[in-house]
Amino acid sequence: MKIVYSYITKDNEACGSFLSIVEKEFRVMNISGDGFVFAMDEDTKKILSLLVIDKAPDEEEYRVRMLVEEENQELLFNMYKVLINLVKNMGIDIMMCIDTWSKFLELQKMGFTMTEKDYTHHMEKRTIILDRIEKYKEQLNSNDKKIRKNAELEIEWCNETLEDIMGTVHLKSKEVEYQHVDGYIDFSELPKEAVSFSKSNIKDATIFREDDNYLYCLLKKSDPEYNDLVYLMAKEITIPNLRINGGKLNSDMGLRYPEQLMYIKDKKTNEIVSYIGITENYGIGLYISQIAVRKDYRKTGLGRIMIQDAIRVANSKNIEFVSAEIMPDNDASLGLFGSFGFTKRDDSKFFTLNVREYNMSHENEGQRRLGN
């Protein structure tokens, strides 16, 4: 694998497309920053790791954080070298947290420093631990097997403690020189396919109905575009302004990866504005795992349309019950599902609709209307 390195700043016109790639690749929402250093597999165009630089309020220095931890030390320190070049070009000073003494020693060679107070603290701590090691080394020659074994364990623990530190290093752009990095490529020279991502390039799932305003689509888990569309729905509807735990999209937030997703797309804007996730439960029930309508499309009847479509799916497969989990404080969902006849099951958060009874009630309602 050949790795290339590059960086981009927020004022680059391609930065938006680049961040869309990163968000899609790492399942991260709403990345923001003033500059970004990244490593990429030249063959697959996959981004391997990312450093984000941003300005903290009321701080003179910019902060550096790593979005994806990297165990490849050569890759990691090449990224730090690119970071120095970016800092030089931006004319800024930075601060960065570190967790090992060996990392500090390598960064120190590049021009990173600790404050005098932090450095003194760590050196005092190391002196105490080194003295402790010397003490236990003397016990390695003991005739007592237990004493020797205890000394070995203590020395092992001390060496681990020597390596582990919690500290902050600083870098001033005026005090460092530009670094040479093998594999560095200017962002403008990267292939277009490596830095372009657009939701307009994502293919739609099966369109099963349309009207003057909307397309109604069905997406199955086996469809090749499933992951892209699930990510897009989570990003634009479910969690538009939410940072996920550790930056990762998971099954507890966002979409829960149901067997099928029915979604509605606005024909004018070409944007997905609502969706409903359904999973069949061994042919006897249909579970609605999630339903969402984009904020600016709420109270337009889209939620009702999607539940009606879920009931149609149940009818087409002769499924007897449709169920949904509704939180007790979600008044909007309680009212919406209740209007269809969903009733609470025992003391749980699950609500169930008997499809046969629903069909009969609607047939009777239709006959009453015809009679009138």
In 31-114, DSSP assigns E strands to: 35-41, 47-55, 62-66, 93-100
- Is residue 47 within 8 Å of 268, Cβ to Cβ? no
Q: What is the pLDDT of residue 26?
A: 72
Query: Is 17 a residue whose pLDDT tops 90?
Result: no
Please tell me the CATH code under which domain 3-193 is placed.
3.40.630
Q: What is the pLDDT of residue 242?
A: 39
- Is residue 349 within 8 Å of 329, Cβ to Cβ? no
Q: Residue 185 — pLDDT band, cuts 50, 70, 90?
A: confident
pLDDT digits (tens, 9 = 90+) for 239-256: 553 333 333 333 333 445
Cα end-to-end span (Å), the chain: 75
Lowest mean pLDDT among 231-235, 278-282, 294-298: 231-235
| Those residues with Cβ within 8 angstroms of residue 45's Cβ, 6 or more apart along the chain or in another chain | 191, 193, 194
Q: What is the pLDDT of residue 284?
A: 63
Instruction: Write out the CATH class of domain 201-371.
Output: alpha beta
Classify residue 251 as left (phi > 0), alpha (psi -120 to 50) or beta: alpha
pLDDT digits (tens, 9 = 90+) for 281-331: 765 689 998 898 998 999 999 999 999 999 999 999 889 999 998 888 888
pTM (predicted TM-score): 0.53
Q: Enumerate the domain spans of the chain.
A: 3-193, 201-371
Domain pair 3-193 / 201-371, same fold? yes
- Is residue 275 within 8 Å of 216, Cβ to Cβ? no
Which amino acid type is present at position 117? K
Other CB atoms within 10 Å distance of the CB of residue 287: 18
Grouping H, G, I as helix, E, B as strand and the rest as coil, residue 62 is: strand
Q: What is the pLDDT of residue 29?
A: 60
